[in-house]
A and B are shown apart, each in its own frame.
Chain A
Amino acid sequence: MSRLHVVSGKGGTGKTTVAAALALALATEGRRTLLVEVEGRQGIAQVFETEALPYEERKIAVAPGPDGGGVYALAIDAERALLDYLQMFYKLGGAGRALKKLGAIDFATTIAPGLRDVLLTGKACEAVRRKDKRGRFVYDAVVMDAPPTGRITRFLNVNDEVAGLAKIGPIHNQAQAVMRVLKSPETAVHLVTLLEEMPVQETVDGIAELRAAGLPVGGVVINMTRPEVLDTGEVDIAANGARRGIAEALAEAGLRGGRRGAAGVKWADGLIDPLLEEAREHAQRVDLERAEHAELAGLDLPTYELELLPEGVDLAGLYRLARDLRKQGPI
């Protein structure tokens, strides 16, 4: 069972929402989960409808149910993580400030290749491994709202890159330690996608990259699925054979422009073309979605589906998504 869940996905697929729902879903039966974000976007705060998160682990939600656990959240800030790290390992409080003044901290967290990513993943791994006084894990699971699919392998694998750059020394050692966690079965990288061509393509490519880098792939979360109401065949029937009947049915259901009899049916008939146009677009999308579904099925990975919430995801919607995830078995 994984304890570090890294959630990635193409931009616009809802990975922050899915990460939040997953953290909630994993927090049942008294478990504690930590939800971390690494991109400084304050996406978690928006999803949970709270004020901006500080660099501090704080409880932001209680999981539903009698023995619901808690979701804690942390917005990891690379600069603060570096200063903490320096303090922790080198007792460098004052020197840290001097380094900052000189631009060295800025250099390390924004310019130096890979260092930023080591700091971000390092902090998440630290939370995964942290134990309390009685030797139990402080968090039962850590969920990371990670960078998008296009950058995820480089982000997670950057420790390898740093390890190659710094062949010895503390950065090297730190990177190696982080990498050991990320490549272990303790970690699972999940990709969020929509049933659209580009996100699915990126998912397929992303999984190949993750596998090539030896990073453990978890599951695919198909987000914002919509029910199939009518397919191409049915729309064809509606457009061709059944038009008259549909006009009558509409009129009968009261959509007749206040007219009676044949005039009402005629009025209803005027609705059919625009409705059919919408139905054709829907059917075309259904066809595309079926093809994309088949493509994802070919990946041979566990998949999870989350329905589109028509009114957008508010807090209640988030709990609903968490419930839906839980119903689909362990992730």
Chain B
Amino acid sequence: MTADASLPDDRATDDGTPDAATPDAATTDAGAADAAVTDVSPPGAGAASSRHTAPSPSGRGALHSPAAHLEVDPLLDDPRTRIVVCCGSGGVGKTTTAAALGVRAAERGRKAVVLTIDPARRLAQSMGISELDNVPRRVKGIDESTGGELHAMMLDMKRTFDEIVEAHADAERARAILDNPFYQSLSAGFAGTQEYMAMEKLGQLRSRDAWDLIIVDTPPSRSALDFLDAPKRLGSFLDGKFIRVLMAPAKAGGRAGMKFLNVGMSMMTGTLSKIMGGQLLRDVQTFAAAMDTMFGGFRTRADATYRLLQAPGTAFLVVAAPERDALREAAYFVERLAAEQMPLAGLVLNRVHGSGAAQLGAERALAAAEALVDRDRAAAEEPAGDRSENLGGDGIVDLAGGKADSRTADGHSPAAADPRTTDDTPSAARLAAGLLRLHAERMHVLARERRTRDRFTALHPEVPVAEIAALPGDVHDLAGLRAIGDRLASRERTADDTRQTEG
């Protein structure tokens, strides 16, 4: 971890990260306390957190920079990192972050594959994956001089489901399943199918062992957690007792000594038939019968994927925008991952704003802008000869020769030499007022973002954070993805660097 060695010393104390023994969720299981440092944490983050094992005196309660910094490059470079999962609520830039991480990892020498779920069209085009063929394609335009490669694919959930069926049933049975109307709806429509198939595809990519790093984007779900729950849910349905009852109502109801169940069963099958209609019930029963041999398989696969997500080579990145709802969801997710013992590498805070003039506070900028506008307006109402301050460029340059402070007293000036009205060319004062207003707006954004971020880090000081400085436009080419990667890996903390002080 040479990258760690180059860290400035003060960061370790500055970050105030709790050490590994801090009773946070990851180490509540006493037996796993050791593992939390070396095994359970993802490799990159493991190295990063070991840096903080010396508890700093200022520690957790420090007002300044409560969160550790998430080092993305060590995480991507570490050969032990095999899977990176990007999760978070909708609209926070998960897909773009996943793609940017893929580009960066590949250009740093990894043989990486990015599994995206629903990329924006232009982003998909720029990566050459706008066609849904459910197979990773090599991305062109990547700098492969370090020996890396980038492959990318877009998930086709129905096809993935079909492939599982085809791979695990003989041809005749597979045909029966694929033709079943209930299956067709299930594979294309069920709200959890996408999540299940995303995890299934992840398992497939991992077992092919053709890539040394897999980066997964997660589906835009009702809640960001669906992809953890859906596989288990589908798995428990597919080998659960309900489907067995559907399959063989008579057999289940006929068991000796289960009188209560018996009554329940006959009532139930009758009810089901009444509610679902005979034809749908038959479809479900045929489907269940045809799937019979595969049930155990589904549970096994769901369990395997789940264990894969818990494995030391996996790193979860929670992506969020510095907004209240997104960070609330992120906090929830962090807690959930800890409860499931999934290895969290850190939080990626996307689209964070900064300012090069943070010493000038919003209130002051606004007050100055108002003063300039008032003055501009007052001057505009005076006779033309007195409008010395309203002029753009030329007029004022003249004045600037050292008597700026006496300008207000200066009544006769080059104003008359410039007949343009303020409507055609904005006066310097108005331009200055505009700049100041924009700056005030920016400082308000900064303050709001910092508040929401601080709320998160107060709740979860153990979670390392990396910030991506906001870009003015959308990203839809490799150059844009590279820029995102650079910003993500940059050690600067956008918001911290711009603590507001009145200048």
Contacts and interface: CB of A to CB of B under 8 A. Distances in A.
B241 interface: yes
B396 A102 contact: no
B120 A198 contact: yes
B272 A250 contact: no
A311 interface: yes
Given A251-B404, A255-B360, A279 B435 contact: yes
B431 interface: yes
A170 B275 CA distance: 6
Interface string A5-47: 0000011110000000000000000000000000111010010
Contacts, number: 268
Contacts of A199: 91
Chain A interface main SS type:
helix
Interface stretch (B1-9, B47-55, B134-142, B320-328): B320-328
Interface string A227-251: 0011000100110011011111111
B448 A312 contact: yes
Given A237-B425, A244-B396, A103 B241 contact: yes
Nearest to A260: B405
Interface residues of A, number: 93
Contacts of A272: 435
Interface stretch (B203-211, B232-240, B455-463): B232-240
B392 A275 contact: no
B372 to A, nearest CB: 5
Interface string A104-125: 1011001111101100000000
Nearest to A252: B407
B351 to A, nearest CB: 10
Given A262-B404, A311-B448, A197 B222 contact: no
A250 B192 contact: no
A288 B118 CA distance: 23
A5 B168 CA distance: 45
Nearest to A85: B275
A242 B431 contact: yes
A107 B242 contact: yes
Interface string B363-390: 0100111011001000000000000010
A40 to B, nearest CB: 7
A102 B355 contact: no
A277 B356 contact: yes
Interface string B61-105: 000000000000000000000000000011110000000000000
12 contacts: A10-B90, A110-B192, A111-B190, A111-B237, A114-B189, A148-B220, A230-B431, A245-B391, A246-B431, A248-B400, A261-B405, A275-B438
Interface of A: 10-13, 39-41, 43, 46, 86, 90, 92, 95, 98-99, 101-104, 106-107, 110-114, 116-117, 147-148, 150-151, 154, 158, 161, 164-172, 196-199, 201, 226, 229-230, 234, 237-238, 241-242, 244-255, 257, 260-262, 264-265, 271-282, 284-285, 288, 310-312
